[in-house]
């Protein structure tokens, strides 16, 4: 379907709901097609095609809310879906905070963010590309003895939203990736690791050689891992795992966590939660970025804003609903954050390791031992032991523990080795002290 067809479908759904006497209604369409192929040990393992389509309707009878969804866009199916949402709303409880966002907040202009960049690749070509990527990794060193395969993925989607305030808008988007994972072996001991590249524009993906070689190198480096003695030491989170730290920040300052009083960052607005040198922004309009979005799930225009300034929390992440619950203004974050950017410090990872002297470099995290109510943090980890400013040996089967409030306050620096493959963009992060439980 094209944008014009989406607009017609959304408007038809809204009009049918209004004919039932509903004053407030919104409709959201998502659609997409793509495929992924995986090659393992030189053979095709999977070829998967995706063809997704769905429409969700939310309507309000006064302050009663009802929602329903369908993958059938026929007139009959749309009417049945709206009837179902109406029935749900009729039996729902009153909620004074329910309703569409106020029209003053709706996006007036839709910026061109270049989120859709086709990859002219056939499944047959993708299969050959996956085989080549895996071959590069397997042939890198004779210590690479097995493989979990290489995967090529491409997807093109469309998003369209409208509501009874008269707002309609949407955009097309793409994501493409190359992923490779291999197994290294030495003296009967095996280690698995890998690498991937992901982008909206296939032209900026890392090439097969880079992905395959990085996968092999990372697996080989983990050979002969051991436990490290239990101790309290500085810890560096490699960039690709450091993003999870700031994911906890996002969860903690979300509107829902705040009004439910279920956050370790409860009522921390205008309070210092990081050191002075930490600055974090939301930048929703970066062209081609994974997290970019012209408006949020309420239809509110997104804009650049400071989240952390000189260590101080500037505000929460609010939808129309959570803003009303907290008696605040919405921030354009219905559906989440849009490109959280952690301002980098002056050093790359190698310099951070050298300056730290002794401690742990974390390259992999296992499990989800995070209590977002208390901030207590305990996760399995693997990485490398550092002494004299250099990597000494790989470590595994350890646990790192602390409290997120203390961890945030003890960030020594953030690296300039920024990982741009996700919605949270950060370099490596050096924490002053954590408990590392090993042997």
DSSP secondary structure string for all residues of 146-205: EEEEEEEEEEEEEEEEEETTS-EEEEEEEEEEEEEEEEEEETTEEEEEEEEEEESSGGGS
> For 86-106, what is each residue's pLDDT tens digit?
999 999 999 999 999 999 999
Q: Is the pLDDT of residue 295 over 80?
A: yes
Q: Which residues contact 350 (CB under 8 A, 6 or more apart)?
A: none
Distance separating alpha carbons of residues 73 and 81, to the nearest angstrom: 10
Annotate 40-86 with DSSP letters as a single string: ETTEEEEEEEEEEEEEEEEEEETTEEEEEEES--SHHHHHHHHHHHH
Instruction: Compute the average pLDDT of residues 187-210.
Output: 96
Question: CA nearest 322: which of 410, 392, 406, 261?
Answer: 261
Query: What confidence score (pLDDT) does residue 42 get?
Result: 94
* Residue 4 pLDDT grade (very low, low, confident, very high; cuts 50, 70, 90): confident
Q: Quick check: 82 and 17 in contact, CB under 8 A?
A: yes
Q: Quick check: 420 and 200 in contact, CB under 8 A?
A: no
Distance separating alpha carbons of residues 176 and 202, to the nearest angstrom: 6
Distance separating alpha carbons of residues 384 and 285, to the nearest angstrom: 37
- In a 3-state reduction of DSSP, which class is residue 381? strand
Residues constituting the chain: 439
Query: What confidence score (pLDDT) does residue 65 get?
Result: 96
Instruction: Compute the average pLDDT of residues 194-202.
Output: 98
Q: Quick check: 399 and 406 in contact, CB under 8 A?
A: no
Q: Quick check: 428 and 418 in contact, CB under 8 A?
A: no
Tokens of 71: 């993958």
- What's the CA dihedral at 200, 109, 70, 26 to 10 degrees? 150
CATH code for the structural domain at 3-105: 3.30.2290.10
Conformational region of residue 432, where left means phi above 0, alpha means psi within -120 to 50, and beta covers everything else: alpha
Q: What percentage of the chain carries pLDDT values higher than 90?
A: 95
Tokens of 244: 């999870």
Query: What confidence score (pLDDT) does residue 109 get?
Result: 87
Residue 93 is classified by DSSP as: P
Instruction: Compute the average pLDDT of residues 236-244.
Output: 97
Distance separating alpha carbons of residues 399 and 359, to the nearest angstrom: 14
Q: Quick check: 184 and 143 in contact, CB under 8 A?
A: yes
Q: Is the pLDDT of residue 187 over 90?
A: no
Q: Quick check: 261 and 372 in contact, CB under 8 A?
A: no
Distance separating alpha carbons of residues 328 and 114, to the nearest angstrom: 32
Q: Quick check: 103 and 330 in contact, CB under 8 A?
A: no
Distance separating alpha carbons of residues 258 and 244, to the nearest angstrom: 20
- In a 3-state reduction of DSSP, which class is residue 285? coil
> For 320-367, what is each residue's pLDDT tens digit?
999 999 999 999 999 999 999 999 999 999 999 999 999 999 999 998
Question: CA nearest 72: which of 124, 1, 3, 120?
Answer: 1
Provide the angle, in degrees to the nearest 10, between the axes of the packed helices 3-19 and 75-90. 50
Q: Is the pLDDT of residue 382 over 90?
A: yes
Instruction: Compute the average pLDDT of residues 289-314.
Output: 97
Instruction: Compute the average pLDDT of residues 197-215.
Output: 98
Tokens of 306: 């400071």
Distance separating alpha carbons of residues 4 and 365, to the nearest angstrom: 45
> For 148-170, what is each residue's pLDDT tens digit?
999 999 999 999 999 999 999 99
- Strand intervals (E) in 226-345: 231-237, 280-282, 305-309, 312-313, 340-342
Query: What confidence score (pLDDT) does residue 1 get?
Result: 53
Largest Cα–Cα distance in the chain?
74
* Residue 2 pLDDT grade (very low, low, confident, very high; cuts 50, 70, 90): low
Domain boundaries, the chain: 3-105, 231-437
> For 26-60, what is each residue's pLDDT tens digit?
999 999 999 999 999 999 999 999 999 999 999 99
Distance separating alpha carbons of residues 152 and 37, to the nearest angstrom: 5
Q: How far is CA 35 from CA 103, 156, 205, 268, in A?
A: 38, 10, 17, 44
């Amino acid at each position: 379907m094209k944008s014009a067809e989406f607009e017609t479908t959304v408007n038809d759904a809204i009009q049918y709901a209004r004919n039932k006497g509903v004053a407030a209604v919104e409709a959201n369409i998502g659609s997409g097609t793509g495929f992924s192929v995986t090659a393992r040990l030189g053979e095709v393992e999977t070829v998967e095609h995706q063809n997704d389509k769905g429409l969700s309707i939310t309507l309000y009878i006064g302050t009663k809310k009802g929602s329903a969804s369908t993958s059938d866009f026929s007139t009959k199916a749309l009417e049945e879906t709206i009837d179902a949402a109406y029935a749900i709303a009729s039996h729902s409880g009153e909620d004074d905070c329910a309703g569409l966002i106020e029209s003053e907040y709706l996006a007036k202009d839709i910026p061109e963010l270049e989120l859709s960049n086709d990859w002219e690749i056939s499944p047959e070509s993708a299969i050959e590309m996956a085989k080549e990527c895996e071959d590069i990794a397997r042939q890198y060193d004779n210590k690479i003895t097995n493989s979990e395969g290489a995967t090529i993925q491409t997807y093109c989607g469309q998003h369209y939203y409208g509501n009874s305030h008269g707002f309609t808008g949407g955009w097309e988007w793409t994501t493409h990736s190359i992923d490779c994972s291999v197994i290294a072996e030495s003296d009967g001991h095996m280690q698995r690791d890998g690498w991937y590249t992901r982008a909206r524009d296939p032209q900026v993906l890392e090439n097969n050689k880079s992905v395959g070689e990085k996968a092999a190198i990372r697996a080989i480096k983990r050979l002969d891992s051991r436990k490290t003695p239990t101790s309290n030491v500085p810890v560096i989170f490699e960039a690709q795992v450091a993003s999870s730290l700031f994911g906890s920040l996002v969860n903690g300052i979300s509107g829902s966590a705040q009004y439910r009083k279920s956050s370790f960052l409860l009522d921390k607005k205008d309070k210092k939660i990081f050191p002075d040198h930490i600055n974090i922004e939301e930048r929703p309009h970066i062209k081609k970025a994974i997290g970019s979005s012209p408006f949020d799930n309420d239809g509110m225009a997104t804009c650049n804003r400071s989240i952390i300034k000189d260590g101080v929390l500037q505000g929460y992440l609010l939808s129309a609903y959570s803003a009303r619950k907290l008696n605040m203004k919405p921030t354009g974050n219905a559906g989440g954050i849009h490109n959280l950017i952690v301002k980098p410090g002056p050093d790359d990872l190698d310099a951070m390791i050298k300056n730290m002297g002794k401690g742990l470099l974390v390259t992999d995290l296992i499990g989800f031992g995070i209590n977002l109510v208390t901030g207590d943090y305990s996760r399995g980890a693997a990485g490398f032991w550092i002494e004299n400013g250099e990597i000494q040996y790989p470590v595994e089967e350890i646990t790192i523990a602390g409290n997120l409030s203390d961890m945030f306050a003890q960030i020594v620096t953030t690296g300039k080795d920024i990982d741009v493959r996700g919605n949270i963009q950060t370099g490596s992060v050096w924490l002053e002290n954590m408990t590392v439980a090993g042997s």
